[in-house]
C-alpha cells in the first residue's frame, strides 16, 4: 500500500513522518536535531549567535545538510522509501533564503556530491533571517508609510507590518546590502526552499505560508504590486508563486531517487508554513476549535469562520491549506523561556511538572511574572523584560516551584489576552508541539482558559499535517477520513479544569494586563 511522506523543517529540527492511510498507521517518525546532530553549524537551538539580540539568522546549508542526514538515517533504518507515493512538507514561517542562481537554472544535483555542496554556490546570502528576528522596526514603518499606513497593510495582507515577516526582512537586506540584493535572483521561504530541493527546480511559495510575508493580497491570492514596490526594486521577478497549497510541484529529483531509493516519478506537492500545516495535522481545518502549539515559539491558531483582523495589530491571517483562512498569534518566549526557567532553578521536565501539579496552586499564591527573556512580538517588546511581583522569595528568584508555575501561567494569560480579537471563547483546546507532553503545562492552560485540553499521540502535528496533505492531494483521500484515522485526540491524555479554578485567575489576569500596559 502506498505511503505518504511529510517533512517539517522547523526551528530546531527537520522531521520526516510517513503514514499508511489504509491501515491508519504512522509508519515513519524520524528527525534530525540541528543542535545535537549538526554541531558544526554552531546553532544549538537552530539559529546563529549574534551580539544583537534582535538579529536571528540561520545557515540555510544546515537545513540542506539535515535533509541528506535525515533521509540517510531513514534509509539506514531499513524503511523502504520506494513505498512513498507522494511527498509534501512544511517549514518554519517567515524565514527567507537568497539565491544568486535560481534553482530552475542550477541543473541536476549530482548524486555523488553532498546536496549541501551543490547548493552552497547558489546562495547570494550566507544566512537566512528567521522568524525570531526583530531587527526591522524602522523598515516596517518605511513599508507601511509607502502604501498608506498599517491599516492598509492589514486590510490587504491580514497583518500589519511585522518585524519577522519576509517583506520587511527582504527590504532590510536590500537597504543594507544593495549589491548582494541586486545579485539575488530568487528569494524563497523556508518551505518553498525545501520543496525546491526535492523537485530540483524552483518551487513556488504557497498562499498558506505566503500570507506571512506582508506581501500577499489575501483577497486575490496574488502578491500585491504596491507592497512589492514598497519592499524592494525588482522583487516581483525574484519571488516564485504564489500557488494554492494543494498545487502539484512535479516529480522528486533524480538525486533522491538514486541516493535514497524513492520510486522514480514520486509526486511532490507544495510545502506550506509549519502552523498552517499543523492546522491540518491537528484535524482542525474546519472552524470550531483552537489549537495551541508549544514549540520553539508558542502559537494559538484556528480556522476562521470569516476574515477578521486584529485591531491591536498582533494577530495574523494566514491561508488555511484546506481552503479559507486561519487566525494566528505567535509568542517568541515559548519553549526557550520555559527551558530558561527550568535551567535557572535546576529542574528537569519531571521536576518542573511536579512543581506545577503538586507544589503550587492555580493563581500561584499571587506571584506574577513577566516572562520575556528575549525580545517579544506579542506584546511587542524590542528588549527583554523579565519582572517578578509577589513574595520576596519569588521576586528574588529563589522560589523554584513558584517560578516554574509563574512562567507557564504568564504565557497562558498572554495567549488568552491576545486572542480576544478572534471573538471566540474556546471550550476545547487542541495542544501540540514539543511541550504538549507536559501535563503541568496542560493543566495551567485548562485552568486559565477554563477549557478541556486534548493532545494527539504525535507531538509533531506539522509533519503529520504535511503527510496528510500529501495523502489528500496525491492519494485522493478526504481530510475527514484522514483526521478520523490520524488526528483523533489521544484518549490517555485529556486534561480538564481543576474544580474551583473558575475565579482563580481573576486577580492575576487583571494584574498581568496592567503590568503589560506599564511596559508601554
Ligand atoms: P520546533 O518545532 O519549534 O522546533 P518542538 O515542537 O519540537 O519545536 O518543541 C521543542 C521544545 O519542546 C524544546 O525546546 C523543549 O523545550 C520542549 N519540550 C520537550 N519536552 C518537553 C517536556 N516534557 N516539557 C516541556 N517542554 C518540553
Ligand atoms: C508564526 C511564527 C512561528 C514560526 C516558527 O508566525 O513566526 O510560529 O512559524 O514555528
pLDDT class of 278 with cuts at 50, 70, 90: very high
Q: How far is the CA of 129 from the centre of ligand 2 (A)?
A: 13
Q: Residue 187 half-sphere exposure, CB side, CA atoms within 13 Å?
A: 30
Q: Which atom of ligand 1 is nearest to the CA of 13?
A: 4
Task: Give the per-residue SS3 of 84-124.
Answer: EEEEEEEECCCCEEEECCCHHHCCCCCCCCCHHHHHHHHEC
Please say if the pLDDT value at position 513 is more than 90: yes
- The pLDDT of residue 387 is 97
Q: Are 454 and 430 in contact (CB under 8 A)?
A: yes
Largest CA distance in the chain: 66
Average pLDDT over residues 253-271: 98
CA distance 91 to 275: 9
Average pLDDT over residues 21-39: 97
What's the mean per-residue pLDDT of the chain?
96
- The pLDDT of residue 4 is 98
Ligand 1 binding pocket mutation candidate from 431, 434, 445 (most atoms within 8 A of CB): 434
Over residues 164-215, the pLDDT tens digits come to: 999 999 999 999 999 999 999 999 999 999 999 999 999 999 999 999 999 9
Q: Which atom of ligand 2 is nearest to the CA of 212?
A: 6
Q: Is the CB of 164 under 6 A from ligand 2?
A: yes
Q: What is the percentage of the chain residues whose pLDDT exceeds 90?
A: 94
Please say if the pLDDT value at position 1 is more than 90: no
Average pLDDT over residues 2-27: 97
Q: Is the CB of 432 under 6 A from ligand 1?
A: no
Ligand 2 binding pocket mutation candidate from 12, 56, 58, 93 (most atoms within 8 A of CB): 93
- The pLDDT of residue 494 is 87
Q: Which atom of ligand 2 is nearest to the CA of 274?
A: 9
Q: How many CB atoms lie within 10 A of CB 212?
A: 32
- The pLDDT of residue 518 is 93
Please say if the pLDDT value at position 305 is more than 90: no
Average pLDDT over residues 43-50: 97
Q: What is the percentage of the chain residues whose pLDDT exceeds 70?
A: 100
Over residues 348-366, the pLDDT tens digits come to: 999 999 999 999 999 999 9
Nearest-CA neighbor of 203 among 219, 213, 190?
Answer: 190
Q: Which atom of ligand 1 is nearest to the CA of 274?
A: 2
CA distance 260 to 80: 9
Average pLDDT over residues 84-94: 98
DSSP assignment of 166-229, as one string?
HHHHHHHHHHH-HHHHHH--EEEEHHHHHHHHHHTSPPPPBHHHHGGGS-EETTTTEE-HHHHH
Contacts of 208 (CB under 8 A, 6+ apart): 245, 272, 273, 276, 277, 318, 319, 320, 321
Over residues 418-459, the pLDDT tens digits come to: 999 998 888 899 999 999 999 999 999 999 999 999 998 887
- The pLDDT of residue 218 is 96
Q: How many CB atoms lie within 10 A of CB 230?
A: 22
Q: How far is the CA of 456 from the centre of ligand 1 (A)?
A: 15
Q: How far is the CA of 320 from the centre of ligand 2 (A)?
A: 15
Grid coordinates representing 469? 496533505
Over residues 401-425, the pLDDT tens digits come to: 999 999 999 999 999 999 999 988 8
Q: How far is the CA of 297 from the centre of ligand 2 (A)?
A: 6
Please say if the pLDDT value at position 322 is more than 80: yes
Q: How far is the CA of 338 from the centre of ligand 2 (A)?
A: 17
- The pLDDT of residue 196 is 98
Q: Is the CB of 11 under 6 A from ligand 1?
A: yes
Q: Is the CB of 94 under 6 A from ligand 2?
A: yes
Average pLDDT over residues 35-59: 97
Grid coordinates representing 364? 500561584
Please say if the pLDDT value at position 382 is more than 90: no
Average pLDDT over residues 391-410: 98
Name the DSSP class of 270.
Answer: -
Please say if the pLDDT value at position 288 is more than 90: no
Q: How far is the CA of 334 from the centre of ligand 1 (A)?
A: 9
Q: Are 325 and 319 in contact (CB under 8 A)?
A: yes
Over residues 51-70, the pLDDT tens digits come to: 999 999 999 999 999 999 99
Query: In whole angstroms, how far apart are CA 307 and each of 24, 37, 223?
Result: 34, 41, 18
CA distance 60 to 14: 12
CA distance 457 to 520: 41
Please say if the pLDDT value at position 40 is more than 80: yes
Q: How far is the CA of 339 from the centre of ligand 1 (A)?
A: 9
**Would you say how long the chain is, in residues?**
520
Nearest-CA neighbor of 103 among 190, 194, 200, 188?
Answer: 200
Q: Which atom of ligand 2 is nearest to the CA of 377?
A: 7
Q: Are 141 and 382 in contact (CB under 8 A)?
A: no
Q: Which atom of ligand 1 is nearest to the CA of 294?
A: 6
Using a 10 angstrom Cβ sphere, with 0-12 exposed, 13-18 middle and 19 or more buried, the burial of residue 450 is middle
Ligand 2 binding pocket mutation candidate from 128, 191, 210, 274 (most atoms within 8 A of CB): 274
Q: How many CB atoms lie within 10 A of CB 21?
A: 23
- The pLDDT of residue 255 is 98
Contacts of 346 (CB under 8 A, 6+ apart): 400
Over residues 124-154, the pLDDT tens digits come to: 999 999 999 999 999 999 999 999 999 999 9
Amino acid at each position: 500500500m502506498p505511503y505518504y511522506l511529510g517533512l517539517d523543517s522547523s526551528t530546531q529540527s527537520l522531521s520526516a513522518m510517513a503514514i499508511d492511510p489504509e491501515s491508519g498507521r504512522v509508519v515513519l517518525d524520524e528527525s534530525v536535531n540541528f543542535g545535537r546532530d549538526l554541531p558544526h553549524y554552531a546553532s544549538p537551538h537552530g539559529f546563529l549567535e549574534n551580539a544583537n539580540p534582535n538579529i536571528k539568522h540561520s545557515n540555510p546549508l544546515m537545513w540542506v545538510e539535515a535533509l541528506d542526514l535525515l533521509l540517510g538515517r531513514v534509509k539506514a533504518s531499513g524503511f523502504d522509501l520506494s513505498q512513498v507515493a507522494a511527498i509534501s512538507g512544511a517549514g518554519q514561517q517567515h524565514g527567507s533564503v537568497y539565491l544568486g542562481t535560481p534553482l530552475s537554472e542550477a541543473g541536476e544535483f549530482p548524486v555523488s556530491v553532498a546536496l549541501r555542496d551543490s547548493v552552497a554556490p547558489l546562495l547570494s546570502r550566507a544566512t537566512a533571517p528567521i522568524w525570531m528576528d526583530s531587527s526591522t522596526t524602522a523598515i516596517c514603518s518605511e513599508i507601511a508609510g509607502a502604501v498608506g499606513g498599517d491599516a492598509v497593510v492589514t486590510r490587504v495582507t491580514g497583518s500589519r507590518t511585522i518585524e519577522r515577516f519576509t517583506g520587511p526582512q527582504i527590504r532590510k537586506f536590500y537597504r543594507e546590502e544593495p549589491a548582494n540584493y541586486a545579485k539575488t535572483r530568487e528569494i524563497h521561504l523556508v518551505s518553498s526552499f525545501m520543496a525546491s530541493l526535492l523537485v530540483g527546480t524552483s518551487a513556488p511559495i504557497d498562499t498558506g505560508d505566503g500570507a506571512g510575508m506582508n506581501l500577499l493580497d489575501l483577497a486575490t491570492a496574488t502578491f500585491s504590486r504596491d507592497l512589492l514596490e514598497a519592499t524592494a526594486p525588482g522583487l516581483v521577478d525574484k519571488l516564485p508563486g504564489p500557488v494554492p497549497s494543494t498545487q502539484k510541484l512535479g516529480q522528486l529529483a533524480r538525486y533522491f531517487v538514486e541516493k535514497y531509493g524513492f520510486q522514480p516519478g514520486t509526486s511532490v506537492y507544495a510545502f506550506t508554513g509549519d502552523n498552517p500545516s499543523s492546522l491540518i495535522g491537528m484535524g482542525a481545518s474546519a472552524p470550531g476549535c483552537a489549537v495551541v502549539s508549544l514549540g520553539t515559539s508558542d502559537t494559538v491558531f484556528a480556522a476562521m469562520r470569516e476574515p477578521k483582523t486584529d485591531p491591536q495589530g498582533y494577530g495574523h491571517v494566514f491561508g488555511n491549506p484546506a481552503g479559507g483562512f486561519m487566525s494566528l498569534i505567535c509568542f517568541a518566549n515559548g519553549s526557550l523561556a520555559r527551558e530558561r526557567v527550568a535551567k535557572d532553578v535546576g529542574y528537569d521536565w519531571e521536576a518542573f511538572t511536579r512543581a506545577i501539579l503538586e507544589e503550587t496552586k492555580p493563581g500561584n499564591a499571587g506571584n506574577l511574572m513577566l516572562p520575556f527573556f528575549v525580545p517579544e512580538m506579542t506584546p511587542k517588546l524590542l528588549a527583554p523584560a523579565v519582572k517578578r511581583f509577589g513574595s520576596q522569595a519569588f521576586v528574588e528568584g529563589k522560589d523554584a516551584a513558584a517560578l516554574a508555575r509563574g512562567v507557564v501561567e504568564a504565557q497562558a494569560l498572554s495567549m488568552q489576552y491576545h486572542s480576544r480579537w478572534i471573538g471566540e471563547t474556546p471550550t476545547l483546546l487542541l495542544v501540540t508541539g514539543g511541550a504538549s507532553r507536559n501535563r503541568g503545562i496542560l493543566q495551567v492552560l485548562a485552568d486559565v482558559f477554563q477549557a478541556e485540553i486534548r493532545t494527539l499521540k504525535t507531538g509533531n502535528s506539522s509533519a503529520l499535517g504535511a503527510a496528510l496533505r500529501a495523502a489528500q492531494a496525491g492519494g485522493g483521500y478526504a481530510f475527514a477520513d484522514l483526521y478520523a484515522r490520524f488526528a483523533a485526540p489521544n484518549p490517555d491524555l485529556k486534561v480538564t479544569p481543576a474544580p474551583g479554578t473558575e475565579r482563580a485567575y481573576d486577580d492575576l489576569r487583571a494584574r498581568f494586563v496592567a503590568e503589560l500596559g506599564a511596559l508601554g
